[in-house]
């Protein structure tokens, strides 16, 4: 009876689930790399196909497979990473503690007060 649910703790501390934040950062990084020049090494590596034999059993999950799954969950296509407004709205699932409008106003007041 003395147990407190994780949702309650996250709500009071204004912290989100780590998995949601990880998905958000993964999609942000993917969008960042995709908007870079075609000759950028990160983009070339991401589009590269590795030759070789296939191991027995279940295939290992690759980073790009997870990105595609996250894009599908957000109902985005790979081309949507180039549309800034749509990408930002869909990718941003959380606000870290202290990033809201009230917090920005408090930061301005405290900075001005100490100068």
Buried/exposed 83-94: b ≥16 CB within 10 Å, e otherwise: eeeebeebbeee
Do 71 and 77 touch, CB atoms closer than 8 A? yes
Whether the pTM exceeds 0.75: the reply is: no
Each residue's pLDDT, cut to its tens digit, for the chain (115 residues) gives 788 888 887 778 777 788 888 888 999 898 888 888 989 998 888 888 888 888 889 888 888 899 999 888 888 888 777 777 777 777 776 665 555 555 555 555 555 555 4
Name the nearest CA neighbour of 92 among 32, 35, 25.
Answer: 25
């Amino acid at each position: 009876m003395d147990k407190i649910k994780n949702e309650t703790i996250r709500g009071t501390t204004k912290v989100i689930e780590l998995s949601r934040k990880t998905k958000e950062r993964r999609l942000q990084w993917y969008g960042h790399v995709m908007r870079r020049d075609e000759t950028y090494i990160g983009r070339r590596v991401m589009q590269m196909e590795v030759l070789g034999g296939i191991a027995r059993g279940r295939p290992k999950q690759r980073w790009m497979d997870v990105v595609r799954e996250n894009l599908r969950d957000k109902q985005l296509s790979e081309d949507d990473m180039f549309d800034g407004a749509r990408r930002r709205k869909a990718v941003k699932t959380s606000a870290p503690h202290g990033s809201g409008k009230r917090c920005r106003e408090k930061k301005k007041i405290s900075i001005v007060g100490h100068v």
